[in-house]
């Protein structure tokens, strides 16, 4: 069954830890992972709760397929009200933390309240306790992890914040064994609670409904996801994503062929200097393209638990211009955010920036975008009154590294200005909001949408702010074909609404199950569904599983509606309406009228009204009658303009 039907509730204010039972109805309806965290957040974190208030809840839930050795089944969801967006917060991480939480006997951990002094939450089977973390406060994540292992043993799996989280940076993340729950500011939630770390160890055998059947499917899908199986994965040639060079595998295609590699604070999608290092081997600096550096710098991969598609690249270098470097990465998103978007073309510098973020606890995407914004703001003369003491020029690697250090510790004028991200920085500076690229205060992932227009809509409507993983629509946009959809043109805005809605529901299923989206070629008929049914014994149909994803997605939208979000929050930043100045998409832009028309079509496909509010009927069909009574509306569907 892979469920214990148990929730561990910890109130940090009094240190109590209580175990409560999860009903059969709740478990069948929400299944696990992001399904659990989303429902708990909706029920327990109302619009009167500030994200940094003790009443905010941090919910930690491994996916339903985390634990029983399912291929790539390692994703655990952190759910919270986001300090960055003020709305729905969700961030996933591939690590053994969730596996150990399951083995300790819990399907979900919820944390509320706040400690009086820096503390660590220790969960060791039934033994749940708070202990002092005074000696850990101020340490970076790597130093803190070493201390925790010395104190408790290496069998404990951890979630740790760095100095950025301690300073309640709204772009701070949670570090889990060289993996990060990065987006939305979850590190600030832990920091506001004076919770330096969570350490979990479990010794129980995980219950499985049909163990022999599950093992048969596990063997089958290990072969399929490593390209050694006999089944032709339908609907995509991207089923077993090629990750020889990590997630930066397609950097060349995204930059040179597609022109969607964000560059110079999203002014362009083409970073010309990225290839100078490939063309001239005598150059001291190394190209961002992993084809140029993997052999020299990467000796090992450190995959997530149960991984069959290891995208991890562990980068190691000694005595560089930036010191010694050891970091799991840099992934594609970091290559864009701390590379192309700040016009740094040296992979050693980008990797060092990645290491600084991981150790100090910053999300690389929002941190890089904050610096890119500051560089453009400085170029325009908007920061003249600040004592920055840093040369904020595009391409200056040392400026990037120093600014990251200051942001994490809120040091000096520059650190205090940027520590909460670029949107709040623009407001503090009194100008520059027009080139602060964001949706709902969150910087987008690395897909320049003027050249991949379906991603513009995906960025706009994502409940957690601009991101790519809520839908993975880029898989369809870049390939033209994916899953049930064929012949899609990335340069067109129209015709993307239904595909986006369907992909969001599908990806919500992955967030519920905890299976990595790099196995997204596994169909629901021959893959996720049979694994889930063997593990749980539920025997869900394809439509029931997709409905679970749709239910979770609508619940996250309802959370935002209750917080006051509306259609304006689903609109795009002004920069995307400007014409691209160079590269493959020169002259391209987002047409606002076409965007609004496709937004209407998306709302209609979702069963929402023209303001983006779910209809009472829609929520009722998803068995969310209580939510319908609170936020649902009876207005007509949105109509195409």
Q: How many domains does the chain have?
A: 3
Give the three-class secondary structure for 44: helix
Instruction: Give CA 608 to chain center in angstroms.
Output: 25
Tell me what percent of the residues of the chain surpass a pLDDT of 70: 93
Residues 6+ apart with CB under 8 A from 178: 302, 328, 358
Q: Which two tokens stand for residue 257?
A: 């062929």
Q: In what order do the strands lie in the sheet with 108-112?
A: 16-21, 6-11, 108-112, 58-62, 75-81, 88-94
Q: Round to whole Å and give the CA distance between 67 and 74.
A: 7
Q: Round to whole Å and give the CA distance between 364 and 182.
A: 8
Asked whether residue 376 falls in the same domain as residue 422, the answer is yes
Asked whether residue 421 falls in the same domain as residue 475, the answer is no
Q: In the chain, what is the straight-line distance between the N-terminal and C-terminal CA atoms, in Å?
A: 48
pLDDT at position 283: 57
Residues 6+ apart with CB under 8 A from 621: 607
Q: Looking at per-residue confidence, does 517 or 59 come out higher?
A: 59
Q: Round to whole Å and give the CA distance between 57 and 50.
A: 11
Give helix then strand counts, H and E, for the chain: 24, 15
Q: What is the CATH number of the domain that holds 53?
A: 3.60.9.10
Asked whether residue 297 falls in the same domain as residue 393, the answer is yes
Q: Round to whole Å and give the CA distance between 438 and 188.
A: 19
Q: How many CB atoms lie within 10 A of CB 323?
A: 12
Residues 6+ apart with CB under 8 A from 626: none
Asked whether residue 374 falls in the same domain as residue 472, the answer is no
Q: In what order do the strands lie in the sheet with 314-320?
A: 298-300, 314-320, 323-328
pLDDT at position 509: 96
Nearest to 566 by CA among 536, 511, 610, 531: 610
pLDDT at position 218: 92
pLDDT digits (tens, 9 = 90+) for 547-568: 999 999 999 999 999 999 999 9
Q: Looking at the domain assignment, is residue 298 inside a domain?
A: yes
Nearest to 563 by CA among 149, 87, 189: 87
Nearest to 65 by CA among 34, 25, 42, 89: 34
- Secondary structure (DSSP) of 172-186: B-EEETTEEE-TT-H
What's the mean pLDDT when you consider all of the chain? 93
pLDDT digits (tens, 9 = 90+) for 194-238: 999 999 999 999 999 999 999 999 998 888 777 655 444 333 333
DSSP letter (8 states) at residue 205: P
Q: Say if CB 105 and CB 547 are below 8 A apart.
A: no
Q: Looking at per-residue confidence, does 401 or 293 come out higher?
A: 401
Bridge-based pairing state of the strands 179-181 and 298-300: unpaired
Q: Looking at the domain assignment, is residue 609 inside a domain?
A: yes
Q: Looking at the domain assignment, is residue 235 inside a domain?
A: no
Domain boundary among 378, 406, 435: 435
Q: What is the mean pLDDT of residues 453-476?
A: 97
Q: What is the CATH number of the domain that holds 585?
A: 1.10.599.10
Q: Looking at the domain assignment, is residue 447 inside a domain?
A: no
Whether pLDDT at 471 is above 60: yes
Asked whether residue 419 falls in the same domain as residue 485, the answer is no
Q: In what order do the strands lie in the sheet with 157-160?
A: 127-132, 119-124, 195-201, 157-160, 174-176, 179-181
Q: Looking at the domain assignment, is residue 577 inside a domain?
A: yes
Asked whether residue 191 falls in the same domain as residue 293, the answer is no
Q: Which two tokens stand for residue 405?
A: 């250090």
Domain that holds residue 155: 6-201
Asked whether residue 289 falls in the same domain as residue 418, the answer is yes
Whether pLDDT at 100 is above 90: yes
Domain boundary among 186, 201, 216: 201
Q: Say if CB 62 and CB 7 are below 8 A apart.
A: no
Q: Which two tokens stand for residue 356?
A: 């600084």
Host H or E run for residue 630: helix 625-631
Q: Round to whole Å and give the CA distance between 609 and 476.
A: 26
The string over 469-488, giving b where at least 16 C-beta atoms fall within 10 Å of a residue's C-beta and e elsewhere, is bbbbbbbbbbbeebbebeeb
Whether pLDDT at 435 is above 50: yes
Residues 6+ apart with CB under 8 A from 454: 473, 474, 476, 477, 488, 490, 493, 496, 499, 500
pLDDT digits (tens, 9 = 90+) for 74-99: 999 999 999 999 999 999 999 999 99
Tell me what percent of the residues of the chain surpass a pLDDT of 90: 80
Asked whether residue 187 falls in the same domain as residue 88, the answer is yes
Q: Round to whole Å and give the CA distance between 246 and 331.
A: 7
pLDDT at position 277: 52
Q: What is the mean pLDDT of residues 29-44?
A: 99
Q: Say if CB 88 and CB 70 are below 8 A apart.
A: no
Q: Round to whole Å and give the CA distance between 513 and 472.
A: 16
Give the three-class secondary structure for 491: coil
Q: Which parts of 537-579 fold into alpha helices (H)?
A: 542-562
pLDDT digits (tens, 9 = 90+) for 521-557: 666 666 889 999 999 999 999 999 999 999 999 999 9
- Secondary structure (DSSP) of 464-490: TSS-STTT-THHHHHHS-BTTB----T
Q: CA angle 17-189-350, nearest 5°?
A: 130
Q: Looking at the domain assignment, is residue 460 inside a domain?
A: yes
User: What is the length of the chain?
Assistant: 641
Q: Which parts of 384-494 fold into alpha helices (H)?
A: 397-409, 412-418, 422-429, 454-461, 474-479
Q: CA angle 479-485-489, nearest 5°?
A: 50
Whether pLDDT at 585 is above 50: yes
Q: Looking at the domain assignment, is residue 330 inside a domain?
A: yes
Q: What is the pTM of this model?
A: 0.95
Q: Say if CB 538 and CB 214 are below 8 A apart.
A: no
Domain boundary among 383, 407, 435: 435
Nearest to 440 by CA among 459, 420, 413, 415: 459
Would you report the helix, strand and coil content of the chain in percent, each value rounded to 5? 40, 15, 45
pLDDT at position 522: 61
Q: Round to whole Å and give the CA distance between 513 and 515.
A: 6
pLDDT at position 521: 60
Asked whether residue 25 falls in the same domain as residue 151, the answer is yes
Asked whether residue 548 falls in the same domain as residue 465, the answer is yes
Asked whether residue 514 falls in the same domain as residue 373, the answer is no
Q: Looking at the domain assignment, is residue 528 inside a domain?
A: no
Q: What is the mean pLDDT of residues 464-477?
A: 95
Whether pLDDT at 4 is above 60: yes
Q: What is the mean pLDDT of residues 488-512?
A: 95
Q: What is the CATH number of the domain that holds 404?
A: 1.10.569.10
Asked whether residue 394 falls in the same domain as residue 427, the answer is yes
Tell me the C-alpha to C-alpha distance, in Å, between residue 339 and each of 3, 288, 496.
43, 8, 30
């Amino acid at each position: 069954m892979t469920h214990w039907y148990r929730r561990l509730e910890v109130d940090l204010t009094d240190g109590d830890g209580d175990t409560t039972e999860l009903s059969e109805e709740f478990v069948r309806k929400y299944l696990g992972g992001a399904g659990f965290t989303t429902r708990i957040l909706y029920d327990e974190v109302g619009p009167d709760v500030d994200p940094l208030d003790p009443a905010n809840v941090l919910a930690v839930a491994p996916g339903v397929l985390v634990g029983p050795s399912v291929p790539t089944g390692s994703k655990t969801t952190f759910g919270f009200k986001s300090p960055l967006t003020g709305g729905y917060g969700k961030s996933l991480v591939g690590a053994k933390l969730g596996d150990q939480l399951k083995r300790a006997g819990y399907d979900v951990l919820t944390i509320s309240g706040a400690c009086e002094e820096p503390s660590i939450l220790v969960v060791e089977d039934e033994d749940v306790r708070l202990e002092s973390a005074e000696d850990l406060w101020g340490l970076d994540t790597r130093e803190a992890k070493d201390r925790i292992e010395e104190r408790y043993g290496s069998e404990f799996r951890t979630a740790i914040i760095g100095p950025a989280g301690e300073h309640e940076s709204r772009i701070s993340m949670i570090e889990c064994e060289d993996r990060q729950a990065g987006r939305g500011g979850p590190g600030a939630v832990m920091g506001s609670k004076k919770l330096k770390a969570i350490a979990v160890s479990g010794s129980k055998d995980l219950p499985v409904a049909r163990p022999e059947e599950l093992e048969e499917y596990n063997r089958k899908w290990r072969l399929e996801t490593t390209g050694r199986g006999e089944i032709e994965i339908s609907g995509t040639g991207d089923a077993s994503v090629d990750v020889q060079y990590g997630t930066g595998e397609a950097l060349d295609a995204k930059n040179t062929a597609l022109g969607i590699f964000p560059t110079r604070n999203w002014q362009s999608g083409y970073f010309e200097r990225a290839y100078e290092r490939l063309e001239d081997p005598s150059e001291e600096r190394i190209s961002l393209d992993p084809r140029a550096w993997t052999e020299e710098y990467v000796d090992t991969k450190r995959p997530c638990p149960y991984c069959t598609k290891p995208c991890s690249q562990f980068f190691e270098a000694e005595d560089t211009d930036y010191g010694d470097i050891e970091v799991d990465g840099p992934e594609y998103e970091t290559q864009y955010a701390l590379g192309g978007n700040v016009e740094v073309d040296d992979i050693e510098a980008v990797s060092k920036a990645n290491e600084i973020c991981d150790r100090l606890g910053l999300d690389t995407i929002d941190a890089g975008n904050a610096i890119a914004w500051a560089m453009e703001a400085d170029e325009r003369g908007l920061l003249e009154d600040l004592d920055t003491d840093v040369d904020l020029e595009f391409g200056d690697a040392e400026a990037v590294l120093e600014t990251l250090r200051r942001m994490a510790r809120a040091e000096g004028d520059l650190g205090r200005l940027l520590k909460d991200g670029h949107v709040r920085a623009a407001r503090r500076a009194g100008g520059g909001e027009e080139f602060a690229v964001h949706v709902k205060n969150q910087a987008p992932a690395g897909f320049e949408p003027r050249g991949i227009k379906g991603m513009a809509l995906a960025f706009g409507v994502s409940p957690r702010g601009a991101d790519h993983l809520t839908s993975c629509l880029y898989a369809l946009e870049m390939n033209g074909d994916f899953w049930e959809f064929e012949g899609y043109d990335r340069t067109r805005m129209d015709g993307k609404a239904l595909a986006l809605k369907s992909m969001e529901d599908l990806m919500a299923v992955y967030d519920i199950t905890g299976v990595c989206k790099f196995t997204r070629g596994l169909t629901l008929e021959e893959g996720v569904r049979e694994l889930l049914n063997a593990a749980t014994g539920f025997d869900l149909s394809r439509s029931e599983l997709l409905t679970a994803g749709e239910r979770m997605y609508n619940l996250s939208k309802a959370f935002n509606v209750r917080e006051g979000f509306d259609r304006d929050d689903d609109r795009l930043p002004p920069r995307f309406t400007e014409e691209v100045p160079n590269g493959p998409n020169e002259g391209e832009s987002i047409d606002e009228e076409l965007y609004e028309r496709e937004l209407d079509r998306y709302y209609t496909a979702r069963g929402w009204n023209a303001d983006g509010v779910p209809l009472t009927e829609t929520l009722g069909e998803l068995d969310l009658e209580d939510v319908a009574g609170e936020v649902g509306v009876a207005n007509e569907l949105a109509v195409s303009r």
